[in-house]
A and B are shown apart, each in its own frame.
Chain A
């Protein structure tokens, strides 16, 4: 769609209009030495100097824990109070990175694959993504190797590329984006024809995605999984910070005759994730779980959902207590 320019002041104006409109705005905020997405009221709260938030913003559409429905039993009768889409608030995700925005594509694919997930879609429908191109990257970033890039527009409604003058190139990509822009139309100016690529971080291409996929197709029994996963201690950090991991568990929060059915995050890295009641565990050892993680993202998902399960944000590498560096591991596979 169309490209515009917005000045520093314009940006402020637009932001305050968004807040005024009553939408919830989530943006990166620095706290306790970490930068995380948080509900904000003013642009001043938004963090400046950082590479990446520790956690992705998938929780906006796929919360850590949410109530599928609640119920109450009274003398034999069960009253069910189902999830109501109307209760979902309009939300703006401000200053997400292209790799975060890209993450919504695989998520949407997963939640609409064999079953259309009412909750996920309700959240997504009411969510608008204002993405900021990346001017900085670190050695854990590899978006360019997974069909992405520091200025990539996939999944975004609006993409901003910040300019030295404090203004930004505004790419309005979807009707949702357009609607958001309309909240402060006057704040936007005509495109100045700047080439955004000048302002993008340099993220080197380290492996060929299709090559990796091809190798993985025959790698199921490869010793590489054991080698790579030896130091993995089997926590869920990688999965929980990942913008595309969507494993969940269904749990009961019952109190006497009342209760809630809850969906909450889970991780294929946990040893009990696949444990059967019989006692049998198809993925008994960590190497099998590591293989599952990689194959799922780089083989199964492209096969079944025609989208890769990795956006190169590098969060898992940064979060891992034992430095399981996914970029390093994938690169080594691609070179084998």
Chain B
């Protein structure tokens, strides 16, 4: 922890960066914090408890300002950073990316390429609990699956925490705010909620890096991250992507292969 604080303090002290994004102790678990001075760096903490994906702040101009910023990134955050850069949302020169390795060793990445090499060693796997629900769902009849999701969706009150927590939901105007035409009814109701989630999942196809922030953020506990996660698992092999690793030159839906396999088109 000290190494991390020292590093952050140093970056701020010598003016390398104007701000360090990291984690501080929160009510029940660590939460995002923004250090503007070397002193504030002493608040920083880092542990497996740090689950917020800080990459979500990188596309917020009001937070980032124009100066150079450092971010303390967990593995999921690193994945998001790479995907954001693929999508032209980051300026490599304005970002110092730091991660904490085992024994609290602090690693500062020279560039995004180095990040790519680093995360390549970290496999993205569904954790037991997720796999369990997926298996349960796949075991169900279609009607049961529909009932399951409709019940889940009936709890959604459209707070869009899933969208707000996702680093890749950075549109200035989201499809749900589009009203010409009104693609998705803006009020909370099972169908409208489901339509929103289907859109979210489709928009994430080939982009989602599987950090699970959407699911963690949902105040009413809908396992929405499974939608994007499941799709990732299904599409990655199909279209030759590696789950959690950004696909350069386009994603699952903006590219194609002449020999893409399907068995349902007559």
User: Which A residues lie at the B interface, using CB under 8 A?
Assistant: 32-34, 36, 54-55, 64-65, 139-140, 230-231, 233-237, 239-241, 249, 251, 253, 262, 264-265, 267, 270, 272, 284-287, 317, 319, 321-323, 325, 328
- The residue that B221 contacts in the complex, of A32, A253, A323, with Cβ under 8 A, is A32
The 5 A-B pairs at the shortest CB distance, nearest first, are namely: A264-B187, A321-B217, A65-B187, A235-B164, A236-B159
Complexed CA–CA distance, A249 and B182 (Å):
15
Nearest CB of B to A271, in Å: 9
Nearest CB of A to B116, in Å: 26
| Inter-chain contact A323/B31, CB cutoff 8 Å | yes
| Inter-chain contact B173/A321, CB cutoff 8 Å | no
Given A235-B164, A236-B160, residue A54 in contact with residue B220 (CB < 8 A) = yes
Nearest CB of B to A314, in Å: 10
Interface string of B170-200 (1 = CB under 8 A from A): 0001000100000001111100000000000
Complexed CA–CA distance, A55 and B213 (Å):
21
Nearest CB of A to B216, in Å: 7
Answer yes or no: B161 CB below 8 A from chain A CBs.
yes
Given A264-B188, A272-B173, A322-B32, residue A237 in contact with residue B26 (CB < 8 A) = no
Complexed CA–CA distance, A284 and B172 (Å):
12
| Inter-chain contact B34/A231, CB cutoff 8 Å | yes
Residues of A close to B33: CB separation below 8 A: 231
Complexed CA–CA distance, A241 and B158 (Å):
11
Residues of B close to A230: CB separation below 8 A: 32, 34, 63
Residues of A close to B31: CB separation below 8 A: 231, 322-323
- The residue that B187 contacts in the complex, of A32, A64, A140, with Cβ under 8 A, is A64
Residues of B close to A55: CB separation below 8 A: 157, 220
Name 7 interchain pairs, CB-CB below 8 A, sorted by A.
Answer: A32-B221, A65-B187, A139-B27, A233-B56, A235-B159, A265-B187, A322-B52
Answer yes or no: B219 CB below 8 A from chain A CBs.
yes
| Inter-chain contact A239/B159, CB cutoff 8 Å | yes
The residue among A32, A230, A328 with the most chain B CB atoms within 10 A of its own CB is A230
Answer yes or no: B230 CB below 8 A from chain A CBs.
no
Residues of A close to B220: CB separation below 8 A: 34, 36, 54-55
The closest CB in chain B to the CB of A64 belongs to B188
Answer yes or no: B62 CB below 8 A from chain A CBs.
yes
The closest CB in chain A to the CB of B51 belongs to A321
| Inter-chain contact B52/A265, CB cutoff 8 Å | no
Residues of A close to B160: CB separation below 8 A: 235-236, 270
Nearest CB of A to B124, in Å: 21
| Inter-chain contact B188/A265, CB cutoff 8 Å | yes
| Inter-chain contact A235/B155, CB cutoff 8 Å | no
The closest CB in chain B to the CB of A287 belongs to B62
The residue among B33, B60, B173, B187 with the most chain A CB atoms within 10 A of its own CB is B187
The closest CB in chain A to the CB of B177 belongs to A272
Nearest CB of B to A39, in Å: 13
The residue among A139, A237, A239, A253 with the most chain B CB atoms within 10 A of its own CB is A237
Given A65-B188, A235-B160, A264-B188, residue A33 in contact with residue B221 (CB < 8 A) = yes
Given A64-B157, A235-B164, A264-B186, residue A34 in contact with residue B221 (CB < 8 A) = yes
| Additional A-B contacts beyond A65-B188, A272-B177 (4; CB < 8 A) | A64-B157, A233-B56, A251-B187, A321-B165
| Inter-chain contact A237/B159, CB cutoff 8 Å | yes
Nearest CB of B to A185, in Å: 38
Complexed CA–CA distance, A296 and B108 (Å):
43
| Inter-chain contact B27/A251, CB cutoff 8 Å | no
**Which residues from 36 to 74 on chain B have a C-beta closer than 8 Å to any C-beta of chain A?**
52, 56-57, 60, 62-63
The closest CB in chain B to the CB of A232 belongs to B164
Answer yes or no: B163 CB below 8 A from chain A CBs.
yes
| Inter-chain contact B155/A36, CB cutoff 8 Å | yes
Residues of A close to B29: CB separation below 8 A: 323
Given A140-B27, A321-B165, residue A253 in contact with residue B159 (CB < 8 A) = no
| Inter-chain contact B27/A65, CB cutoff 8 Å | no
| Inter-chain contact A234/B157, CB cutoff 8 Å | no
